[in-house]
Structure 1
């Protein structure tokens, strides 16, 4: 039985943005419609209307000269204040590394993140997402960056993505309470865009410290952004999923499985079959 096709107008803005980002990361650089469309037919009338408006509304040069006010001497620009200065990326990364290493527990790391001001993402976010306790199971799941639901609730994988995530866990005999869940980036991005390279570099020391302090025995990396950030930035989730990787973190090597994030599955349900295969492999390794 073929899965029902989802139309673009049936997606929420969050799902549409996730789907477009997913296509871009997968290498899709153009969209093709079912029927050819002559875009010139739409552009030409608009150009005619625009030129007509300009002819009727724009005054002549002589009128402009007569009505233009006398120019006043330009005022010197105000000197930049210290508060408007931008922290260089290298210094921000160095500060993040120093701050992260100062934390001796997950609770301390959450406090460090809450007081860290070297990443611009924090200034627009409501919440700071960080793992505070690690369950005895030793299982840690990491997704990409917080959604609007995550930012509002203050917890990773909330809303519709969280409901799907809990169903995925239940299918392999696990519960959300039995595993640790966090995000690779602790703050929501404006408009749910993908973090920039510099923003990711600033957040990596906190993520590495978070993994070190949690000391998981196995990792589940979910989504294109998280797996590229921690394993290989030149590959996509399609290249890395379905296979085990050895992730070196602070002198220890952690078995890591890559699969799709729940938000990606909501945007592209056709990948649920592949995600189910990944979950079965993950469950088998736990046994």
Structure 2
């Protein structure tokens, strides 16, 4: 027996749409096409005495009515998702996070600040601070979304199944954790590995930006939709992956390459070929010299 999808299923479906790059709406209002078809079958089938299948074949397809300015433009209006409303308390907390992040003059100081900072509620539910791994002098910095269960336990980023896949991907292009630097936008694990809320991301972003500034890499590799969205201000990882962008910080443009998150590749192995192309582009850029 079919059941009506609940909130979790709906959220997962929307997340999958986002990963696939589905970010355009066909119409302003949602339409339940299944209900329309069922109703048409019931009316047309009973009136004609024919089968629902025959009735559906005879019924003309619906037309989509558009405003005059949209009919011949070749583009559809974007699906706009409203951002979470800011509150005075959130604004104060973000301002404090920015102030504290600016205090750090080195990566060690930034880690110390985060270890004593209590302005992010996620810290209370996490086991350990997951600051970074790898070589802080590396030319390439990888940025993910947030730690998972294994990372929370060990205090290092990308050590679970996704991290093991990342290690293999690095090896395939002649890199390893001694030649790259790895961090996340959020240094604490969200409970249950859930997706970070916009408020949590906003609070942690000043520290992530300062971390990038202090590492000062030649190349940023953005693993997945979240770091791509918050650092580049662009959504749709499937459309953006494999393309070079500029990340502006401290008066300097750093080359940034969005690619697919290893956790997504574990769920969707057929997409690994795209990540392999991205890593080959990374290797080519390193071989050519980026400074």
1:32-51 alignment runs, 5 A limit: none
Alpha-carbon distance, 1:21 to partner:
7.0
Q: Please say if 1:263 is aligned against 2:263.
A: yes
Closer, same or farther: CA 133–169 of 1 in aligned 2, 3 Å:
closer
Q: Please say if 1:203 is aligned against 2:204.
A: yes
- Counterpart position of 1:251: 251
- Counterpart position of 2:156: 155
TM-score (norm 1): 0.70
Alpha-carbon distance, 1:25 to partner:
2.3
Alpha-carbon distance, 1:241 to partner:
0.5
Please give the secondary structure, in 1, of the residue aligned with 2:137.
Answer: coil
- Counterpart position of 1:129: 130
How far apart, CA to CA, are the structure 1 residues paired with 2:259 and 2:188? Answer: 22
- Counterpart position of 2:242: 242
Q: Please say if 1:182 is aligned against 2:183.
A: yes
Q: Please say if 1:23 is aligned against 2:16.
A: yes
Closer, same or farther: CA 135–103 of 1 in aligned 2, 3 Å:
closer
For structure 2, the 5+ residue unaligned runs are 1-8, 26-86
The 8 Å contact of residues 147 and 184 in structure 2, kept in 1 or not, is answered as yes
Please give the secondary structure, in 1, of the residue aligned with 2:104.
Answer: coil
For structure 1, the 5+ residue unaligned runs are 1-15, 30-85
Q: Please say if 1:221 is aligned against 2:214.
A: no
The 8 Å contact of residues 139 and 217 in structure 1, kept in 2 or not, is answered as yes
Alpha-carbon distance, 1:134 to partner:
3.9
How far apart, CA to CA, are the structure 2 residues paired with 1:269 and 1:133? Answer: 26
How many pairs were matched up? 217
Alpha-carbon distance, 1:136 to partner:
3.4
Closer, same or farther: CA 108–135 of 1 in aligned 2, 3 Å:
closer
TM-score (norm 2): 0.69
How far apart, CA to CA, are the structure 2 residues paired with 1:253 and 1:112? Answer: 26
How far apart, CA to CA, are the structure 1 residues paired with 2:192 and 2:255? Answer: 33
Bigger Rg over Cα: 1
Closer, same or farther: CA 142–165 of 1 in aligned 2, 3 Å:
same
Provide, for residues 154-178 of structure 1, a one-character-per-residue CA deviation record: whole Å limited to 9, x for no partner. 1000111111111000110111221
Q: Please say if 1:231 is aligned against 2:232.
A: yes
Q: Please say if 1:92 is aligned against 2:90.
A: no
